[in-house]
Amino acid sequence: MSSTVYDFSATSIEGQPVEMSTYRDKVLLIVNTASQCGYTPQYKGLQELQDKYASKGFAVLGFPCNQFGQQEPGSASDIQSFCETRYGVSFPLFQKVDVKGTNAHPLFDYLQKALDVDAIQWNFAKYLVDGNGNVVKRYESGTQPQDIAKDIEALVK
């Protein structure tokens, strides 16, 4: 099993490979997202966290997922355009991934196993990762981004 989040890579929404080690020393909030979900308005709160803590070494990473209710049916460009125009999202977005099951992206498989938690049940599950790449906590879909601020503040510089 990999030792930290930094041992993984993903593909950006623009189609470029991204090593998670790019985010070394940053506190991360890794989120499986969807554009047509009841929790979609959380994009606004996620962007607010990004704006508030980016200067302190924090980043939100959004991973669109179509596994739950087919709530992310669009193409990468559709997703990116929706997030930017509707919610002003400027944090990094990645290509659509599965977050559970046999085709789960290895990063999400690792996140789940690192905390020994059940598989993600819906869109907008959030994983908090410390500046050393260690998974600290998972928040379920209903947890509002602003409710995570205290935990972020405890980890940022």
Indicate whether this model's pTM tops 0.95: yes
Q: Closest by alpha carbon to 58, among 93, 90, 24, 26?
A: 26
Q: What is the pLDDT at residue 132? A: 96
Catalytic site residue from 20, 34, 37, 89: 37
Domain-by-domain residue ranges, the chain? 5-155
Do 18 and 11 contact (CB within 8 A), yes or no? yes
Q: Count the helices and strands in the chain (H runs, E runs).
A: 4, 6
pLDDT tens per residue, range 129-146: 999 999 999 999 999 999
The average pLDDT across 70-92 equals 96
37 given a catalytic annotation = yes
The class of domain 5-155 in CATH terms is: alpha beta
The average pLDDT across 72-99 equals 96
Tokens 């981004």 -> residue: 145
